[in-house]
């Protein structure tokens, strides 16, 4: 073997050995980085979660927000399936984000409620009504965040926030904890906990906009819902208090249908889907709520939740660029005694779980 052949032979051996070494490296399941600072100088952290299947979830402490969720298609190609941004500045300007919504998600009629004989007046930030926790809410604050100790087959980050008594005019010091876990089963699990020192309404959700194609609109996505009932609302999207069936309406997804198939029937108000569905299980156990399929990529997402309701929102102000599955209690529950209660009292612990599970076909 001459010099050049011997050199080439050794070069190949080195490359093979290097490849084996990289393959033998343990998976770095979680990584912490700086993501920038708010205008008052508060640092914002980013956590990168990885699983053994190649999925990646990125979470920042601003708004407890999922900035990116990489999921494989039928060929294994990755694309982010949530709408997000690359810089903190974009989030500070109000980009549509997969943030945690609270203290109360969705709407409260006339921006007021009465609890234990006391009337509380809230910010009217949606016409005369209150929405998504107020003018700041949980989506626009910096949470305390830390990675949880490494565990087999999953990576997790936990975020906490103390919402002080009187914040957004809600009563009670509310301690909130949200845990994001990415599993090797290609699941992103969201677990919420909250305690209070004074009776207060609590209704937490995540407002992620999903697009399983990673681009374009979601009108061609195929949707199945495990719900045959919803809460009718007036033209300002305040529930009437009734519970009605979806059969014979454009809201019926009990048979798999594309999101855009009947969306024109909902215009001009609310210009698409923005409806709360009543889920099976009554909020007592983890149930399958929805299945979303994108035919071109083959990506499939299942939504499972312990919540009694789910707001389906078809990104109407974004030209249907994403679809939301806001697992939650019903809108305006605090003013509707026949709806599942959102009142949390001292000594109780609010607990809720939602799982977004991904596959491809």
Catalytic center residues: 207, 326
Please give the angle made by the CA atoms of 127, 205 and 158, to the nearest 5 degrees.
135
Strands (E), 51-186: 56-60, 65-72, 78-80, 100-101, 107-108, 112-115, 118-121, 130-131, 144-147, 154-163, 174-183
Asked if residue 53 has a cis previous peptide bond (ω within 30° of 0), the answer is no
Instruction: Count CA atoms closer than 13 A to 204's CA, side-chain side.
Output: 29
> How far lies 22's CA from each of 77, 117, 122, in Å?
21, 65, 55
Helix (H, G, I), strand (E, B) or coil at 166: coil
User: What span, in angstroms and rounded, lies between the C-alpha atoms of 96 and 192?
Assistant: 21
- 146 contacts 171 by C-beta, under 8 angstroms: no
- 81 contacts 301 by C-beta, under 8 angstroms: yes
CA torsion sign, 303 to 300 to 263 to 227? negative
- 233 contacts 266 by C-beta, under 8 angstroms: no
Asked if residue 83 has a cis previous peptide bond (ω within 30° of 0), the answer is no
User: What span, in angstroms and rounded, lies between the C-alpha atoms of 173 and 205?
Assistant: 19
User: What span, in angstroms and rounded, lies between the C-alpha atoms of 200 and 192?
Assistant: 16
């Amino acid at each position: 073997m001459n010099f050049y052949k011997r050199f080439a032979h050794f070069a190949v051996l080195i490359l093979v050995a290097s490849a084996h070494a990289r393959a033998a490296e343990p998976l770095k399941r979680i990584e912490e980085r700086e993501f920038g600072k708010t205008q008052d100088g508060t640092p914002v952290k980013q956590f990168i979660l990885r699983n053994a299947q190649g999925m990646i979830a990125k979470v920042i402490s601003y708004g407890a927000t999922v900035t990116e969720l990489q999921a494989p298609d039928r060929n294994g190609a990755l694309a982010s399936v949530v709408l997000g941004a690359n810089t903190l500045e974009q989030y500070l300007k109000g980009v549509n984000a997969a943030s945690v919504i609270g203290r109360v998600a969705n709407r409260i009629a006339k921006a007021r409620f009465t609890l234990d004989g006391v009337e509380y007046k809230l910010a009217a930030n949606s016409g005369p009504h209150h929405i998504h926790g107020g003018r700041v809410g949980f989506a626009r604050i910096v949470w305390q965040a830390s990675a949880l100790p490494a565990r087999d087959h999953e990576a997790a980050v936990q975020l906490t926030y103390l919402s002080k008594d009187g914040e957004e005019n809600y009563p009670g010091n509310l301690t909130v904890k949200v845990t994001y876990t990415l599993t090797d089963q290609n699941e992103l699990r969201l677990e919420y906990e909250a305690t209070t020192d004074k009776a207060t309404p609590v209704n937490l959700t995540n407002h992620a906009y999903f697009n399983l194609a990673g681009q374009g609109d979601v009108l061609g996505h195929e949707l199945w819902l495990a719900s045959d009932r919803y809460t009718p609302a007036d033209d300002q999207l305040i529930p009437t208090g009734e519970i009605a069936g979806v059969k014979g309406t454009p809201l019926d997804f009990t048979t798999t249908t594309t999101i855009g198939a009947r969306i024109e029937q909902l215009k001009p108000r609310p210009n698409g889907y923005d409806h709360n569905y009543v889920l099976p299980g009554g909020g007592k156990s983890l149930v399958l709520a929805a299945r979303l399929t994108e035919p071109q990529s083959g990506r499939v997402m299942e939504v499972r939740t312990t919540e009694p309701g789910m707001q389906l929102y078809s990104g109407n102000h974004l030209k249907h660029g994403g679809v939301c599955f806001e697992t939650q209690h019903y809108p305006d529950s605090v003013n509707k005694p026949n709806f599942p209660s959102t009142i949390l009292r001292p000594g109780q612990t609010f607990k809720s779980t939602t799982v977004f599970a991904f596959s491809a076909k």
